[in-house]
Amino acid sequence: MTAAARGIGIALVVALTLPLWAGGVYYVNLASQVMIAALFALSLNLLVGYAGLTSLGHAGYLGLSAYISSWLMLNLGWGHAASAAAALAGTTALAGVFGVVALRATGISFLMITLALGQILWGLAYRWNDVTGGDNGLSGLTRPHPFGIDLGKPAWFYYFTLAVLLLVWAAIAVWVRSPFGVSIRATRDQPRRMSALGFNVWLIRWVTFVVSGFFGAVAGLMYVYYNQFISPHSLSLANSAEMLLMVIAGGPGTLIGPALGALLVVLLKNVASAYVDRWITLLGVVYLLIVLFVPGGMVAGLARMAARLRGRPSGAGTAGTAPRAEEAPQ
């Protein structure tokens, strides 16, 4: 635990001072991108890691929240606060409806339904030209100026994103450790036993689904503030799959894993796309490598490696923190 606390302390110091030593706007912006990706991965991880429900439609929330806020600002002239609130409320409400549909099933069927639902939103963004601008998307957005701070400056935007990330992180950490969070994990591992004990398994999953959608909407807002542009491409299946890869690569069902996964994928994407033309192929290969060789994610992999270095039997210290996330619920 002390090692973990020390790690978090070091990470915080690094994060807080990053704009001072990063050596350029490019790196500060890259760090903001990593944190926004981490927000997505954290929100998706609630479903994938804690509830054991693998969703392939999470990019839909990003898109919906980004489109709602952009549209309200551009067409109705709403302010940032009002349009952000409307985007969060609208997206969360839709997550409620999607949850009712998708939770008719679990396991692979749940994944297929969320994929299909995500494609509906993609299709809507792509085809409903009058509202979404079709393939061209919506552009011309400004970043908000909370308390007179100009988020148009990369460093300030970086700190704003960091603040949002830490808030969301803390909220999720508290939530998954609460009694309700324990019941979420219990519905993942032992759904039948939970039902026999009198818990409403469906309701627990639905609430998790909606909360995951809400945090996805928060991430979507940060995404559209950062890019000041939203197009159907952001809602694509490839994007949903990329978020899922972050969670799986980092370590589903852990608090650190999704952020690590986001770091890996965003860095890989930026570094690799500078040298290799075929980034998507590389992404596909990374998928295969991770699935074949690091099945429990990096957190579990690193813990195993550390345990081996200390000469302990592998997995001894990790059983509690790294659940078997591959297992789909019955």
Partner 1 sequence: MTFWLIQSLNSLALGGVLFTLAAGFSLIFGLMRVANLSHGAYFMLGAYVGLSVVDQGWGFGWAMLAGGVAVGALGVVVERFVLRRLAGNALSQVLATLGIAFIIADGSLWHWGGDPRSVSGPEFLRGGAHLFGLTFPAYRLAVVGFSVVLALALWLLLEKTRLGVMIRASVDDMQMARAIGIPASRLFTTVFCLGAALAGVGGVIASPILSVYPGMEADMLPLALVVVILGGLGSLAGAFAGSMLIGFVYSFGQVLVPSMAYIILFLPMVVVLAVRPRGLFGRVTA
Interface residues with partner 1 (CB under 8 A) are: 54, 101, 104-105, 107-109, 111-113, 115-117, 119-120, 122-124, 126-130, 236-238, 241, 244-245, 248, 277-278, 280-281, 283-288, 290-292, 295, 325-328
Q: Which of 322, 330, 277, 274 lies closest to 300, judged by CA?
A: 322
Q: Which of 20, 24, 50 lies closest to 211, judged by CA?
A: 50
Residue number, 18 or 283, with CB nearest to partner 1 = 283
The distance of closest approach from Cβ of residue 165 to partner 1 in the complex, given in angstroms and rounded to an integer, is 25
Q: Which two tokens stand for residue 182?
A: 């324990």
CA of residue 269 relative to chain centroid, distance: 16
Q: Which of 217, 269, 263, 266 lies closest to 46, judged by CA?
A: 217
The distance of closest approach from Cβ of residue 286 to partner 1 in the complex, given in angstroms and rounded to an integer, is 7
The neighbouring-strand residues paired with 244 are none
Q: Rounded distance, CA 98 to CA 308, Å?
A: 44
Residue number, 124 or 307, with CB nearest to partner 1 = 124
Residue number, 154 or 323, with CB nearest to partner 1 = 323
The distance of closest approach from Cβ of residue 239 to partner 1 in the complex, given in angstroms and rounded to an integer, is 11
Q: Rounded distance, CA 67 to CA 149, Å?
A: 24
Query: 278: which DSSP letter?
Result: -
The distance of closest approach from Cβ of residue 101 to partner 1 in the complex, given in angstroms and rounded to an integer, is 5
Residue number, 155 or 286, with CB nearest to partner 1 = 286
Residue number, 28 or 111, with CB nearest to partner 1 = 111
The distance of closest approach from Cβ of residue 301 to partner 1 in the complex, given in angstroms and rounded to an integer, is 14
Residue number, 89 or 112, with CB nearest to partner 1 = 112
The distance of closest approach from Cβ of residue 327 to partner 1 in the complex, given in angstroms and rounded to an integer, is 8
Residue number, 49 or 154, with CB nearest to partner 1 = 49
The distance of closest approach from Cβ of residue 250 to partner 1 in the complex, given in angstroms and rounded to an integer, is 14
Q: Rounded distance, CA 32 to CA 40, Å?
A: 13
Task: Supply angle C-alpha 286, 238, 47, rounded to 5.
Answer: 85
Asked if 252 and 325 count as a contact pair (C-beta separation under 8 A), the reply is yes
Task: Supply angle C-alpha 239, 137, 83, rounded to 5.
Answer: 90
